[in-house]
Structure 1
């Protein structure tokens, strides 16, 4: 057992992390403005003070790359140190007899970049920029002339040597792609700083839009305008003042307060503009997930648009962006339906789509360590599928693994109709009573359980929903157990009959009663469970029971999200990890179900349940 009250300080903190933490506290106590949290982020990379509302505004404006110390700021500091060295060599020309001024300036830039990288806590974007500066400086010191493309390739190679997993980060591709676009489109400066800055912003915005859309599934129409303000103002006014404050405060306590206060004032002047842009029609545009060929076509279109003047038919290049910006959302036709079993770990969330409506059944768990499936899994899936709104939602019962993500989803998608069992007290909800039915676009929805006056018994009171489309049927059973399953099979044999069944209670040993399994006659049994979950779901004998009844069993723990289409020509099941395989999924294919095999089975085939 841990006893925090018995802990005591062994020694005072020291080192760069202790210095950063102390400086962050000084900024927080000396700057009496709300923007002090941004000064801490821009000066030290300390983003602990930023809340979700701040990040929402930053993302809507496309300026998150400037917060928490960007690589661009490292380059500015490196350039400032190079100018200082140049100034020293100009004041004392005899120094050039020992070290040429260009080489000394290059070494100074490396020192400046290294110091600022340490101040930032060695964050990945700063390390990446520092490596690029060090490579260029090293080549300058060796008097080797390499092209800009070769320098960029060496920087990428060095970055992968230091951190091989950085290739999996979005920042790696955005930063190197951005530099590559700028080197190709603007190899030489024209001498006009304003024109060069505007050109660089245009090239970066156009060239990186396809990559950002693929990586984040969003685009900010306000981004180019916001960056025109944020890049020069924050980088040339706010950040230098914040760094001056750090330097002065390191020399004498209290000496840097004026600089931090002035930096906060400069930030406050610009922040209302970004808040306004975040709420305007120019803010985030969520893009549905495109097909695989959308990115290369969009990159070709960007290449075409950025060709020199005089290249013919540039307007036609915009057509190559259509598969990316306006992809096929694969919406069901009238009379047909689609079920998306979202991979939320050990929990459940199902999106049901018809031609013009969307219903969300459960929202996954929200746990104490900060993971909220509603925010991290459900909402991104809705965006990826291009769901603009939810017409209704069902919280099958009050357990966290089904209802935990509801607040996050409700905050982003206001739902006009919410169904839940009588005992689940959710604002604005109404009971999901057996017999209540409605029809959307030729698809019929009907609740089979719980009946009127049924007491709230947790799992046993779960809403059981039947969906009929294109002559097919699907059943979402919540977490009901064997008693309720036998009752439904006895009292509603026609309602239980279904082609697709979302297996109750994640495939636990206390559900999937043999009579219920036989009565359903399902050909597809879907299980929503977490990989390696401590409950051993789905139990091996339950999986075998469904297979013996003639159903194919699909588990989100092994196959990822499951997409099931109820069509007139049949039932189509698509597993995410099979349709979109990744390299690291290969190691998981074919491995044993450790969760199921690690539990000893009792005589009736059951073990510990969750």
Structure 2
């Protein structure tokens, strides 16, 4: 009977692991014991069904590990309490002007002097006057922690999934305490070496950005890169090259082979103790392993390292192994070591990309011509085959990526990375010689980045599509495989047709007289996206922090793209507070032709016109009316908020900004006759707003609060929620629901659809 191949076993194991990741809840621990006898019988007595044993093994293993990871999270009873923690700084701390952010490996934790069961990695922010935080140093800190919880919006990143995959059990910040102090005895670790190498590069390369790029290529240290640098990388599709990629590890392995060849050329008698092929394999694995450690053992590097290990072991045991077999064994090793790796985009981009290269590229011999053909054909295969996954994970792709990678991949992999490796080696052996080598690498980086910045301005460099559906993803991947089948297979061009559901997805727009609204989840802030049949408006854009994190860029723009909105007609910022206006610059920069209005234009970083009572316009049968502020009252802080009433044929929506009880009577009086409006609760539910008289005058059928989870202001206040409850008004909170969609049909009353947190339940979400 035919033996089960490594590829079949790997795919079956992967399928089992994936099944668990779609579950809204993990099964009880005792249920995972039940399939074990079945797995044993299938594995030993039923060779034909061994694939099923691997699949069940994947289900049991992934559910077990997922359960352990969820149980390791901070107990809910400890949220919001002060914990005295002793731990070691892991990874490379990131310092900003306003705060430092780092990962702490917790060794012990106490509450009120009593030990608590908390082990694992926590992400910590140290605000104001944070001291130097060397990697690998041990600290005693007083922390305020909470369980990992992220923002959930259309097209947005799932930080709770990322926390589970990275082993983050809590997030929080350092509390002011005199006992916060280093414990001394900083021990050696890989992250300390990475930091030392990064500092050595910075000391020898005067240009800041060139040094930052070399640090990223050398040790995966991306701390020095600015948002503009990442934007250029995304526009060119070269983000995989900035932090150390798997291909770089392969180059390091070749470097190891060359070192072995040099050693045998200098000392031929080494062949008497160890055959040269085995020595070359061992040297390749050793150098690749050391370089992967310097890269922080990211998933692409681990995948390549495992493949090199398989080939090296086969060479040392004098057994031949094929490329697909090596890839399958590497996948099995990663899934058995960490089944949660499938939650990372890098897992799929790595394995799918390499698998397509193996399946679709045919060797054309040796020589420069064959190498150039494989390089150009490989970039085409990678660009087309990874396009569906790139759109699935990131919501955007680069149409110039194939050209950019055709230039960047050989330059980075065969020139910059080897030069940087030599420079790193010289830093330890002969520091004076490291300077010229690193200067040469920096000059090449500078020239290449100039070219990439130019290509980033080309049309199609940033290409956005609506959120990809699973069936469109599957069809496009199959279409890519069909398209690159070997020559001689008829009708290969039909594979392009399978890309149509991905590239031209069906879009639903409100009919005439109807509109839709999404109260986005931007934490303790506000952003609302409104859409009629042919127009779109953004009301407020969330916050922007001194660290550079911009909710306009991270949440508002991805939501616009994911919902298939190609043009923004108006940006209205209620007033100048950061939690409403901070992200306006990113939105205005992405849509420069949109009209701009604000309640406090003088406080805005981008030019805006004053919104005033009486302004009206109509889009697609939907009426818009500004109810405040009155003329000449654009300097009253919260009470200068632009108050916007949106009136469709079937319902109304009142966006009240941050107005207080002093302004609410005037707004209620200006509503006029009409259906009871859905209300965006003023000022996030603060105690200075939502007076009982205002609620009684508006009589909303439902109300929505935009607030952050466990925010420090306590919004919405319990007394405010009590006033809405007394009036019989249901209140929905983005902190609980995620982004909240509201539908205002032309022929039916308004309705609230399921929030993003409830719409796509997963076991790792709170």
Higher mean C-alpha deviation, range 9-18 or range 25-34: 9-18
Alignment partners' CA distance in 1, 2:219 and 2:447: 21
Alignment partners' CA distance in 2, 1:215 and 1:58: 16
Query: For each residue in 1:83-140, what CA deviation from the matched residue of structure 2 results, as whole angstroms up to 9, or x when unmatched?
Result: 4325645776765565444333221111011221233344443233223322433344
1:401-440 to structure 2, matched below 5 A, reads 401-414=579-592, 416-422=594-600, 424-426=602-604, 427-440=606-619
Q: 1:528 to 1:496 in 2, by over 3 A?
A: farther
Partner of 1:592: none
2:260 pairs with 1:85: yes
2:202 pairs with 1:24: no
Partner of 1:512: 690
Partner of 2:292: 117
Partner of 1:152: 327
Alignment partners' CA distance in 1, 2:696 and 2:454: 59
Higher mean C-alpha deviation, range 353-362 or range 77-86: 77-86
Partner of 2:379: 201
Partner of 2:762: 582
Higher mean C-alpha deviation, range 555-564 or range 282-291: 282-291
Partner of 1:71: 246
Alignment partners' CA distance in 1, 2:343 and 2:438: 36
Q: 1:129 to 1:385 in 2, by over 3 A?
A: same
Partner of 2:399: 221
How far is 1:386 from its partner? 2.9
2:626 pairs with 1:447: yes
How far is 1:217 from its partner? 0.9
Q: 1:423 to 1:77 in 2, by over 3 A?
A: closer
Residue in structure 2 matching 1:42, options 217, 221, 225? 217
Query: For each residue in 1:262-301, what CA deviation from the matched residue of structure 2 results, as whole angstroms up to 9, or x when unmatched?
Result: 2223334433332221101141211221333210111121
Residue in structure 2 matching 1:365, options 543, 553, 577? 543
Residue in structure 1 matching 2:635, options 456, 459, 473? 456
How far is 1:500 from its partner? 1.8
Partner of 2:742: 564
Alignment partners' CA distance in 2, 1:180 and 1:243: 28
Alignment partners' CA distance in 1, 2:545 and 2:424: 38
Asked if 1 retains the 8 angstrom alpha-carbon contact of 2:623 and 2:646, the reply is yes
Residue in structure 1 matching 2:311, options 103, 126, 136? 136
Residue in structure 1 matching 2:471, options 293, 303, 307? 293
Q: 1:572 to 1:9 in 2, by over 3 A?
A: closer
Higher mean C-alpha deviation, range 321-330 or range 292-301: 321-330
Partner of 1:475: 654
How far is 1:162 from its partner? 4.7
2:570 pairs with 1:392: yes
Q: Matched residue of 2:709: which SS? A: coil
How far is 1:10 from its partner? 6.3
Alignment partners' CA distance in 2, 1:4 and 1:53: 26
TM-score, normalization by structure 2: 0.70
Q: Matched residue of 2:463: which SS? A: strand
Asked if 1 retains the 8 angstrom alpha-carbon contact of 2:388 and 2:477, the reply is yes
Alignment partners' CA distance in 2, 1:387 and 1:171: 28
Asked if 1 retains the 8 angstrom alpha-carbon contact of 2:650 and 2:747, the reply is no
Q: Matched residue of 2:541: which SS? A: coil
Asked if 2 retains the 8 angstrom alpha-carbon contact of 1:475 and 1:498, the reply is no
Q: 1:275 to 1:102 in 2, by over 3 A?
A: same
How far is 1:449 from its partner? 1.9
Higher mean C-alpha deviation, range 266-275 or range 339-348: 266-275
How far is 1:534 from its partner? 2.6
How far is 1:366 from its partner? 2.2
Alignment partners' CA distance in 1, 2:189 and 2:694: 64
Q: 1:24 to 1:422 in 2, by over 3 A?
A: closer
Alignment partners' CA distance in 1, 2:673 and 2:504: 39
Partner of 2:62: none
Alignment partners' CA distance in 2, 1:455 and 1:569: 37
> What RMSD in Å do the two structures reach over aligned CA positions?
3.0
Unpaired runs of 5+ residues, structure 2, are 1-126, 132-177
Partner of 1:608: none
How far is 1:355 from its partner? 2.1
Q: 1:546 to 1:39 in 2, by over 3 A?
A: same
Partner of 2:354: 179
Q: Matched residue of 1:532: which SS? A: coil
Partner of 1:252: 430
The number of residue pairs the alignment matches comes to 585
Q: 1:110 to 1:412 in 2, by over 3 A?
A: same
Higher relative contact order (CA 8 A, sep 6+): 2
Residue in structure 1 matching 2:752, options 568, 573, 587? 573
Alignment partners' CA distance in 2, 1:3 and 1:300: 54
Q: 1:495 to 1:398 in 2, by over 3 A?
A: farther
Q: 1:249 to 1:182 in 2, by over 3 A?
A: same
Q: 1:470 to 1:308 in 2, by over 3 A?
A: farther
Higher mean C-alpha deviation, range 126-135 or range 277-286: 126-135
How far is 1:493 from its partner? 4.9
Asked if 1 retains the 8 angstrom alpha-carbon contact of 2:476 and 2:499, the reply is yes
Q: Matched residue of 1:494: which SS? A: coil
Asked if 1 retains the 8 angstrom alpha-carbon contact of 2:661 and 2:690, the reply is yes
Asked if 2 retains the 8 angstrom alpha-carbon contact of 1:460 and 1:479, the reply is yes
Residue in structure 2 matching 1:168, options 318, 331, 343? 343
Q: Matched residue of 2:688: which SS? A: coil
TM-score, normalization by structure 1: 0.87
Partner of 1:607: none
Partner of 2:519: 341
Q: Matched residue of 1:364: which SS? A: coil
How far is 1:236 from its partner? 0.9
How far is 1:211 from its partner? 0.6
